[in-house]
Chain A
Amino acid sequence: GAVVSQHPSRVICKSGTSVKIECRSLDFQATTMFWYRQFPKQSLMLMATSNEGSKATYEQGVEKDKFLINHASLTLSTLTVTSAHPEDSSFYICSASTLRGNYSYEQYFGPGTRLTVT
């Protein structure tokens, strides 16, 4: 149990276009979802935290108007990269937090989405 999916797994887009990435918890309801970004050979950096039905909380330095997060249900969160530029090319990973399982609030991670902006 506790599976998180992301779609798409890879996406290539042209500079200036917008890209939407979906994160779904498949077999549990996620009270909180997190979005991370990972550049090559670097660790994960938290971008934002989203709770279902409320506005996302963005980390310092992350533009909320550029990275739009919608958490419309307990099983789905979306990240939209608006007006993408080559420097937005990265690996985006989501995680979902739940009270289920052996430990409260364990985070389960999606497989990631590789975004390449040309």
Chain B
Amino acid sequence: KQEVTQIPAALSVPEGENLVLNCSFTDSAIYNLQWFRQDPGKGLTSLLLIQSSQREQTSGRLNASLDKSSGRSTLYIAASQPGDSATYLCAVILRAGNMLTFGGGTRLMVKP
């Protein structure tokens, strides 16, 4: 059974710092990996999707990398801002059309 773990569970940083969120998964035979953002009491916003054949994706200040063989992904946030404060979830899907398995999330607080 696929298990997804995110470290750290919570993170508090001052504004402007570059930071890295980690995600690991036990079954490396994934179809794709997705990073989401969730604000309190809200639904999920997809940030980046990395297909299994890709090694990274970038969007603005966000960069996500994928190392399938080691079962790891990282989300890099450059020049963090208070508006980045949210919970970040990573999720993997084993095959097309199948369900996502979520990690426990990292709660990020960026202090002004």
List of A residues within 8 angstroms of B41 by Cβ: 91, 112, 114
List of A residues within 8 angstroms of B100 by Cβ: 34, 44, 46, 95, 107
Give min CB distance, A101 to chain B, whole Å.
9
Contact of B43 among A45, A97, A112 (CB under 8 A): A112
Contact A103–B51 (Cβ < 8 Å): yes
Contact B97–A44 (Cβ < 8 Å): no
Contact A43–B96 (Cβ < 8 Å): no
B85 at the interface (CB under 8 A from A): no
Contact of B97 among A32, A46, A109 (CB under 8 A): A32
Secondary structure of the B contact surface, majority rule: strand
The docked-state distance in angstroms from the alpha carbon of A37 to that of B43 is: 11
Q: Given the known A-B contacts A34-B100, A107-B100, A110-B43, are A44 and B89 also in contact in the complex, defined by CB atoms under 8 Å?
A: yes
Interface string of B78-90 (1 = CB under 8 A from A): 0000000000010
Give min CB distance, B90 to chain A, whole Å.
10
A54 at the interface (CB under 8 A from B): no
Interface string of A95-106 (1 = CB under 8 A from B): 101000001111
Contact A103–B32 (Cβ < 8 Å): yes
